[in-house]
Amino acid sequence: MAKGKKVVPESHQALDALKYEIAAEMGLPVGKSLAHSNVEFATELGSLPAQSIKEDYWGHITSRDAGAVGGAISSRLIRKAEEILLNL
């Protein structure tokens, strides 16, 4: 298998949803609505063209917090897999 190739390419959207759900539970200021309001504010100030910010930008989140989100995703996926295996 090629490096970086997803086994289930359709899982991308589900993983993104899980990432934002966990970030919200941790109280991290990420998400499309927050990014949209920050872009509008910066554009009004004239400090930034609206096209220069991605909606899913996480650059203001510390590495520790981003790692915690990744760890929580892994924990939930493992827990879910264990539940499925126990019910076979």
11: confidence class by pLDDT, cuts 50, 70, 90: confident
pLDDT: which is higher, 82 or 58: 82
Q: What angle do CA 43, 49, 44 make, to 5 degrees?
A: 10
Reported pTM: 0.64
Calpha distance 31→22 (Å, rounded): 11
DSSP helix/strand/coil, 88 = coil
The runs of H, that is alpha helices, within 1-88 are 11-25, 32-45, 63-86
Of residues 13 and 5, which shows the higher confidence score?
Answer: 13
pLDDT tens, position by position, 20-71: 899 989 998 887 655 444 445 444 544 444 444 445 778 888 999 999 999 9
Across the range 63-87, mean pLDDT stands at 94
Q: Find out whether 39 and 50 touch, Cβ atoms under 8 Å.
A: yes
Domain ranges of the chain: 11-86
